[in-house]
Chains A and B, each alone.
Chain A
Amino acid sequence: MIHSKRSFLLLVLVIGGAGLFLFSCAKNIRYTASTLTPTTVTSDQAEALALTGVKVRFYYDDLYNLSNPAGLAANYCVGGVKTFRNPYSSEALPSDGNGGTIRPQFIRDVSVDLTDANSVADSNTTANCAASTAYTNTQASKCSIFDHQFVDASNAPIGMGKEYNTGYYTVLDTQCQGKGPLNTSIDPLLNRLYAGGIYFDLERSEFGENENLLLDLLFYPFGPANNDAAGVALTKTDEAVIQVHLVKTGLTYDLLSLMIQPRFLQYFATAQYPTLVQSLSIISPPTGQMRHEQIFIPLAFNSSVDRIRVERLSGSGVFLEASLYKTGNK
């Protein structure tokens, strides 16, 4: 029986201390692989989890791709970033024990749209995580792809093949004809829009109430001064126009990673995932040269924003790298 205040306080201290020793909040590692448990987190992993900045490289090998998808055999999915990097050294973060690396806690997921996940190839294992091929406008295309030739063990091709063969995430306007979310329109100027881009999904609980985010984007917007992969000059319609929106999804990592490709078919203009800020930034011509843009993301204005959508409105180009930095909580 606890009769005195002093005995009670002592009991509280003991139990509290035991709590500290035995438990650590599951929140700290909930984005990592299921193989990680509180007792198996190394100091390197803990440090990576606590990072307030991250870099991703949109090179096919750093993301789950057609020859290296994620998930279980019955439902392989592609497009998510597999390797997260330290933004200052560019070094890969420690392994998560599940084929990828640790994601810093403020990152829920980073992924890209892919329009060849449902390519018709016997060795393609990702078709179950992609749009149906029953319709012309959802059949595989080179609209937004990793510009790389994927082959299986027997050297049979998977996916739609390469163009410039840089290996980086590439969007090609002429290949987006009829493939965008407005694909029911017969107007070719409309049905190629809004196809392709990147999703940065954030864990808002890891941000302070007054904290914002800086997004650095290294990309190559094409224009008429550049040539296509065959050496023919590109046209005015290839002039890249990129838009940045802020969206609310509320989706967990598990749901995000299972979204079928191309993901713009699920996310575009739907009340389920409202766009809270339309065109926060429009990155438009001049084009033709590589660019490294900084975009300040004003998260503090609305705690519901949990996605930065970098969307190809029109045109062609290559996405190379992105870095995200938390800007501190005042």
Chain B
Amino acid sequence: MQKAQWSFYLLTVALTIFGSSCFSTPGSAPSSTTSTSTTSTVAVAENAGEKAVKIIFKTGDGGSFDSASLPATGTTIDTVDGGYEATAVYTMDNVKLIKGVSSLWPKWLSRFEIGISGSSNLGADNADCARFATNTESQPNCVDSLGGSFQCAVQNFFRVSEYDCMQNSLVTENGSYSDGVYLRAVINRSSEALGSSENLMAVLEYTAAGIQGTPTDITKCFTADGVAPQECSDLLWNAYLWDKDPATKPVPLSRFLMLIPPITSFSDDTSKTNTGLRMTRQIFIPLASNSSIQAFQLSRITSNQLYTVRNTTLLNRCSNGGVGSGNSPLCAGVVFYSITFYRI
């Protein structure tokens, strides 16, 4: 009896020594870096509203943006909540949820806003650069080099027309609060909104049009500083993750994902191939990998390759009505149709 007792004691002690120092739960390694938010203690949040919602980049009926309160001179940069906010989202059953009214509004989506250009927007001061398309520019008034006409934009949808964006200046953005043209989702990481093991998937529906085709010389994409896609593409749009409180106006140190290139629609000197090809892109946002991620931003970074031909090819090709008036995102630029967020 005594021998058995001692064996039990020794076994327990041995297990205690090794168990206390080597115990760890697989997958429980702490998240990285600069966590300033409260880490959720639940794996999946319950009662956090709809698990999938769509934002439609449209004003008026069927859209997520109110047309009555559009900022006349654009949104402001370097200002918390300075963008134009989406006030409605749609469920997968196409039920409209209004922010501040609908109880099923997703708690995990604190805010979604876009940057609209204008004199108040110091990052994009041309009023026709980034805004919702009018009826006029949605007509087939864009003229190509062969004299053929094509639709320049899609009425009421949010579009970015490169011809107009670069009339005043060439900018280079960095995914921060000072970007003029952007889409930004602010994410609520509290445990009531999102669990610690939950992520988001965004499905973006858009067109990306350019004029200069794929680069023949790929070495242009590399500079002494490294990879430089802006040197060999008409457009450059990047996605960023903010791992600090958006109210602190963080500046992300590197891009999360490059959205554009590739460009899917091109015009060239001999044929008009721009047909406004609509495409989708799934973007997995790995929230569970970093409890500090609190915002997702898509930014227009630069278009310096188009800038070099703004007075020649861009002027001749992407001219609405042939009079150099721009408003031609389906010639050179981006049209956004929708973005759908899924909790996964």
Partners in one complex: yes
Which residues from chain A sit less than 8 Å from chain B, CB to CB? Answer: 2, 8, 11-12, 15-20, 22-25, 27-28, 47, 50-53, 59, 86, 88-91, 105-106, 164-168, 205-209, 211, 214, 216, 218, 220, 222-223, 225-227, 229, 231, 233, 286, 288-292, 294, 296, 318, 320-321, 325-330
Structural contact, B221 and A53, CB atoms closer than 8 A: no
Given A12-B13, A164-B219, A289-B262: A50 and B29 within 8 A (CB)? yes
Residues in A neighbouring B283, C-beta threshold 8 A:
294
What is the CB-to-nearest-CB distance from B250 to chain A, in angstroms, rounded to a whole number?
A: 11
Closest residue of chain B to A228 (Cβ to Cβ) is: B218
Which residues from chain B sit less than 8 Å from chain A, CB to CB? Answer: 9, 12-13, 16-18, 20-33, 43-44, 195-199, 213-219, 221-222, 226-227, 229, 232-233, 241, 243, 252-254, 256-259, 261-264, 282-284, 286-290
Residues in B neighbouring A24, C-beta threshold 8 A:
21
Structural contact, B227 and A88, CB atoms closer than 8 A: no
Residues in B neighbouring A223, C-beta threshold 8 A:
214
A220 to B23, CA, bound (A): 44
A16 to B20, CA, bound (A): 6
Partner of B13, one of A15, A86, A294: A15
Closest residue of chain B to A18 (Cβ to Cβ) is: B17
What is the CB-to-nearest-CB distance from B196 to chain A, in angstroms, rounded to a whole number?
A: 7
Residues in A neighbouring B219, C-beta threshold 8 A:
164-166, 229
Partner of B241, one of A88, A292, A318: A88
Partner of B286, one of A17, A28, A289, A327: A327
Given A16-B17, A164-B219, A330-B44: A53 and B286 within 8 A (CB)? yes
Structural contact, B261 and A291, CB atoms closer than 8 A: yes
Given A294-B282, A318-B218: A88 and B21 within 8 A (CB)? no
A227 to B216, CA, bound (A): 5
Given A20-B21, A89-B253, A294-B282: A225 and B197 within 8 A (CB)? no
Structural contact, B257 and A294, CB atoms closer than 8 A: yes
A211 to B27, CA, bound (A): 8
Interface centre among B27, B222, B243, B288 (most CB of A within 10 A): B27
Known: A288-B215, A290-B232. 5 other contacts (CB 8 A): A12-B13, A53-B286, A164-B218, A218-B258, A286-B264
Partner of B213, one of A167, A225, A328: A225
Residues in B neighbouring A165, C-beta threshold 8 A:
219
Structural contact, A86 and B33, CB atoms closer than 8 A: yes
Structural contact, A227 and B218, CB atoms closer than 8 A: yes
What is the CB-to-nearest-CB distance from B121 to chain A, in angstroms, rounded to a whole number?
A: 27
Residues in B neighbouring A205, C-beta threshold 8 A:
26
Residues in B neighbouring A27, C-beta threshold 8 A:
22, 24
Residues in A neighbouring B20, C-beta threshold 8 A:
16-17, 19-20
What is the CB-to-nearest-CB distance from B39 to chain A, in angstroms, rounded to a whole number?
A: 12
Residues in B neighbouring A329, C-beta threshold 8 A:
26-28, 43, 197
Structural contact, B254 and A208, CB atoms closer than 8 A: no
A12 to B217, CA, bound (A): 71
Given A19-B18, A50-B32, A233-B216: A91 and B26 within 8 A (CB)? no
What is the CB-to-nearest-CB distance from A150 to chain B, in angstroms, rounded to a whole number?
A: 18
Residues in A neighbouring B287, C-beta threshold 8 A:
328
Structural contact, A226 and B218, CB atoms closer than 8 A: yes
Residues in B neighbouring A214, C-beta threshold 8 A:
284, 286, 289
Residues in B neighbouring A23, C-beta threshold 8 A:
17-18, 21-22
A207 to B27, CA, bound (A): 5
Structural contact, A289 and B214, CB atoms closer than 8 A: yes
Structural contact, B21 and A19, CB atoms closer than 8 A: yes
Given A19-B18, A52-B289: A330 and B43 within 8 A (CB)? yes
What is the CB-to-nearest-CB distance from B319 to chain A, in angstroms, rounded to a whole number?
A: 25
Structural contact, A328 and B196, CB atoms closer than 8 A: yes
Closest residue of chain B to A323 (Cβ to Cβ) is: B256
Structural contact, A90 and B21, CB atoms closer than 8 A: no
What is the CB-to-nearest-CB distance from B253 to chain A, in angstroms, rounded to a whole number?
A: 4
- Shortest 5 CB-CB contacts between residues of A and residues of B: A328-B288, A208-B27, A328-B197, A288-B214, A325-B286
A274 to B271, CA, bound (A): 49
A296 to B285, CA, bound (A): 11
Structural contact, A59 and B226, CB atoms closer than 8 A: yes
Residues in A neighbouring B264, C-beta threshold 8 A:
286
Residues in A neighbouring B232, C-beta threshold 8 A:
289-290
Structural contact, A53 and B289, CB atoms closer than 8 A: yes
A220 to B253, CA, bound (A): 23
Residues in A neighbouring B9, C-beta threshold 8 A:
2, 8, 11
Structural contact, A90 and B254, CB atoms closer than 8 A: yes
Residues in B neighbouring A12, C-beta threshold 8 A:
12-13, 16
Partner of B198, one of A52, A207, A328: A328
Closest residue of chain A to B44 (Cβ to Cβ) is: A330
Structural contact, B216 and A290, CB atoms closer than 8 A: no
A330 to B43, CA, bound (A): 6
Q: List 25 A-B contacts (CB under 8 A).
A: A2-B9, A8-B9, A11-B9, A12-B16, A15-B17, A22-B21, A23-B22, A27-B22, A47-B33, A88-B252, A167-B222, A208-B25, A208-B28, A211-B27, A214-B286, A214-B289, A288-B215, A289-B214, A290-B221, A291-B258, A291-B262, A294-B282, A326-B27, A328-B198, A330-B44
Closest residue of chain A to B282 (Cβ to Cβ) is: A294
Structural contact, B216 and A225, CB atoms closer than 8 A: yes
A263 to B49, CA, bound (A): 50
Structural contact, A226 and B284, CB atoms closer than 8 A: no
